[in-house]
Structure 1
Amino acid sequence: MNKTKLFLFIIIICSLISSCSTALDDYQEVNKPFDIKRYFDGRVIAWGIVQDYSNKVSRRFCVEIEGTWQGNEGVLAEKFYFNDGEISYRNWQLSKKMDGSYEGQAEDVIGTAIGKHQGFAFQFQYQLSLIVEDESYEVSMDDWMYQLDEFRVMNKTSMSKLGVKVAEVTLFFDKQTQVKKCPGGDAA
């Protein structure tokens, strides 16, 4: 293959790859934009799965979330119940900024998480310190939430290390359900 054809081939492949990525600007404004401050105020229950790099489901879980806000400062207290019996916690400290974006910190988050919304979508990006079999790994989280209606939100999170996807987390949040706790949970 001569240099001109190789150059054109590389340009075509690069443009195809870049056209497959998702950007927040892909989501147009809607009448009722997704407001995480409003949605995560009070109790929310979610169910999810973790899939490894080959898309095999490696874990299932339920999470109870209690959101409290004072002005533009909020706390999301999360309690995870995994199918293998593990229970873990994460407490997000969130701040809504003047431009409508969010910043967040939690015990296992390295630095500051940055969140932005557009229409019915919310993107949250951060570095997470992940403990696996007593080893700590720093992974990049690209967290996308999509509001389906006032009660339900879908969440897809891509977890990567050095730019390579190592796992994916999928969650379904529901505020409407009458379920008050996760199986195995002790909350009323």
Structure 2
Amino acid sequence: MQTTHLIATRRLLLILCALFLVACSSAGIEHYQDKQPRMVPEEFFRGPLTAHGVLKDRNGTVTRRFNADLQGSWNGGVGLLAERFLFDDGEVQFRNWQLIPTASDTPGVRTYIGRAEDVVGDAEVEVSGNAMFIRYVLEVPYKGDTIEINVDDRMYLISDRVLINESKLSKLGIPVGEIVLTIIRGEGKQLSRNAK
């Protein structure tokens, strides 16, 4: 009787673990291949844009709000996205993203290398259907020093002018925060190629 109960308990735990793993796994970029409208970075990230968002801590509490002006341009197939962020506490941050197209091994998926001043190494960029995923390591100021945070950006084109972005932030595999923002095309100030 006790052995039967133990076996049933183990089976239940295995089923719960399997359900947990399925729930934690997220759809790959290929899942969005047929979704519309089609995301084309060379078209969306061109000219002035604005971004509006919040930063949340690991508990989901909003800790900061921000607005940003962005300016996108493309030259020889390589993109530059100059960004100027203004946070609700008055802090201003700048970032210049470079997007370099690369050859993709997956049908229906376009790939790029992403580079920015505070990004460690190259960011991995994948685009398919209405989605654009970017994974990278970001250097973040922390108590007079910098720490490296893993960022998993998931962007979804809602219309030809609106992009929704969810960013999961982690350190050593442990979630530390989240960024949620909306990017609107055709609004914002003209920024120079070097935002600083």
TM-score (norm 2): 0.84
Determine the C-alpha separation between the residues in 2 that align with 1:112 and 1:180: 28
Determine the C-alpha separation between the residues in 2 that align with 1:34 and 1:8: 44
Asked if 2 retains the 8 angstrom alpha-carbon contact of 1:72 and 1:97, the reply is no
Instruction: Report the AA paired with residue 172 of structure 1.
Output: T
Instruction: Report the AA paired with residue 43 of structure 1.
Output: P
Instruction: Report the AA paired with residue 8 of structure 1.
Output: R
Paired position in structure 2 for 1:114? 124
Name stretches of at least 5 consecutive residues in structure 2 with no aligned partner: 105-109
Paired position in structure 2 for 1:184? none
Determine the C-alpha separation between the residues in 2 that align with 1:159 and 1:19: 20
Determine the C-alpha separation between the residues in 1 that align with 2:12 and 2:117: 46
Paired position in structure 1 for 2:112? 102
TM-align CA RMSD: 1.9
Instruction: Report the AA paired with residue 129 of structure 2.
Output: G
Asked if 1:8 is matched to 2:18, the reply is no
| 1:53-99 Cα deviation digits (max 9, x unpaired) | 11111111011111111132111111111110111101111101232
Asked if 2 retains the 8 angstrom alpha-carbon contact of 1:154 and 1:172, the reply is yes
Mapping of residues 42-121 of structure 1, within 5 Å: 42-99=47-104, 100-121=110-131
Instruction: Say which structure, 1 or 2, has more relative contact order (CA 8 Å, 6+ apart).
Output: 2
Paired position in structure 2 for 1:22? 26
TM-score (norm 1): 0.87
Asked if 1:147 is matched to 2:150, the reply is no
Q: Secondary structure at the match of 2:95?
A: strand
Q: Secondary structure at the match of 1:26?
A: helix
| 1:116-155 Cα deviation digits (max 9, x unpaired) | 1221111100011111231311111000001000000110
The count of corresponding residues between Structure 1 and Structure 2 is: 180
Instruction: Report the AA paired with residue 138 of structure 1.
Output: E
Q: Secondary structure at the match of 1:16?
A: helix
Farther off after superposition, 18-27 or 156-165: 18-27
